[in-house]
Structure 1
Amino acid sequence: MRMTSQKSSEELKTRTPKRQRGHDRVVVLLEAAAKVFARKGYEAATMTEIAAEARSSIGSLYQFFPTKLLLAEALHVDRLERLEAVLRGMVERSAGISPADGGEAIFDALGAFIEEFPEFPVLATRRDIPKDRKARARAELKELIATVLRQAQPPIADDVDLMSGIVLELLRMVVAVANEPEAAEDRRVVSELRLMLRRRLEEAAAKT
């Protein structure tokens, strides 16, 4: 598991395992946290429940992650890196498609990602995310989206910064909807966001 590209000052306070057994233990703890966060939410989840889910002692959990914030941050960074890997793969596959199709592909990728990692919306909507790490993550995701739009046919060049920002904001809204049980049941919300994105990208492509 990589946790290098988006580390914050808070993350440096976690213990870094030096042996494979320690690395394996951290993976188990993170996956247990993912299940508990997805099931109970971030605020309601407790370190005791996470330790129990991992079949670990609370002391072992605190040994690697002294606070719930540090545990959530480590898990969030891991999930962000996985999402960025998905988008990098999309960059390689999306050359030549229309901007609107590229936007929908990004939407589809995020939907599949949330299904695979249901804890991601919980992590992404926390109020205690370190500002510096949040800004870096946003910049990295926005640049990956911009790359997809630049290599579309016709490419979006003049408005690429604006459009990539719009795509990112719509994706943020999808994540927020996924974190609200009542809103998540209304598929029309996501459908409307998808339609808005397609129309806006078609308008931008028509200007080229």
Structure 2
Amino acid sequence: MKNMRKSSQKSSEELKTRVPKRQRGHDRVAVLLEAAAKVFARKGYDAATMTEIAAEANSSIGSLYQFFPTKPLLAEALHVDRLERLKAGLRDMGERSAGLSAADSGEAIFDALSAFMEEFPEFAVLAGRRDIPRERKLRSRAELKELIAGVLRQARPPISDDIALMSGIVLELLRIAVVVTSEPDAAEDHRVVGELRLMLRKRLEDAAATG
């Protein structure tokens, strides 16, 4: 029984992403992640293969597996990287959005997401995975809500409604927008995202204090 536990622990550890210790290793991981981003964006998560990703990176499949033993681990590492970039953008917006109306703050958040999605089209694919770790999903959602709340708190006039509720509404509308942009048919119809913008603007205008 003791040996079985050790074997199980070893198997679990072997599935963890290897963290490079040297700069060369960090550079290699960056190349592999960017290659994965291109393949995921082009083929989708389920259809993408590790062989294709290794080829995109001009790397051997062995080198890819050395750092990322499974496709879910590779996708998760890339997803976390993109989330960190998105959060950095929201933090920057929070510093620059002081004095905007609530509705204009919502527009600014939507504009930032649109720019982000254009730069990182693989994000919609990564966000739609069914194997996202639940704990990380909940943590990321809470972090994004708080960053959005930070932007909304600076609105002038201030928002009279519950900021946590409003940030949750904004996040859900952004989530829908991400799903829409990942659908080939709907992505061509910009009216859908336009309607989401109008819905958000109206809700934030209603939430703003009238004096």
Structure 2 length-normalised TM: 0.92
Separation in structure 1 between the aligned mates of residue 149 and residue 126 of structure 2, nearest angstrom: 24
What SS does structure 1 have at the residue aligned with 2:26? Answer: helix
Query: What is the deviation of 1:207?
Result: 5.5
Matches of 2:30 and 2:208, distance apart in 1: 44
Kindly provide the CA deviation profile for residues 13-64 of structure 1, in whole angstroms up to 9, marking residues without a partner as x: 1000011100000000000000000000000000000000000000000000
Secondary structure at 1:13 match in 2? coil
Q: Deviations over 1:127-152 (max 9, x none)?
A: 11000000000000000000111111
User: How many aligned positions are there?
Assistant: 200
Q: Is the 8 A contact 2:158 2:209 kept in 1?
A: no
Is the CA contact (8 Å cut-off) linking 2:160 and 2:209 kept in structure 1? no
Partner residue of 2:114 out of 111, 116, 119 = 111
Q: Which SS does the other structure have where 1:182 is aligned?
A: helix
Name the amino acid aligned to 2:159. Answer: I
Question: Hey, what does 1:55 align to over in structure 2?
Answer: 58
Q: Select between 12-21 and 92-101 the one with higher mean Cα deviation.
A: 12-21
Structure 1, residues 90-113: CA drift from partner, whole Å, max 9, x if none? Answer: 000000110000000000000000
| Aligned sequence identity (%) | 81
Root mean square deviation, CA, Å: 1.6
> 1:75 aligned to 74, 78, 82, which one?
78
Q: Give the C-alpha shift of residue 157 in structure 1.
A: 4.9
Aligned structure 1 segments of 4 or more residues deviating by more than 4 angstroms: none
The residue number in structure 2 matching 1:97 is: 100
Picking from 163, 176, 179, the partner of 2:179 is 176
Q: Which residue, 123, 139, 146 being the options, matches 1:136?
A: 139
Q: Which moved more, 1:13-22 or 1:152-161?
A: 152-161
Letter in 1 for 2:109: I
Q: 1:5 is matched with which residue?
A: none
Aligned to 2:159: 156
**Preserved CA contact (<8 Å) 2:101 2:155:** yes
Paired letter, 1:197: L
Larger Rg: 2
2:7 is matched with which residue? Answer: none
| Secondary structure at the counterpart of residue 120 of structure 1 | helix
CA distance in 2 between partners of 1:142 and 1:181 (Å): 28
CA offset at residue 159 of structure 1? Answer: 1.6
For 2:91, the equivalent position in structure 1 comes to 88
- Secondary structure of residue in 1 paired with 2:98: coil
Work out whether residues 150 and 157 of structure 1, in 8 Å CA contact, stay in contact via their aligned partners in 2: no
TM-score (norm 1): 0.93
- The aligned residue for residue 122 of structure 1 is 125
Moved more, 170-179 or 155-164: 155-164
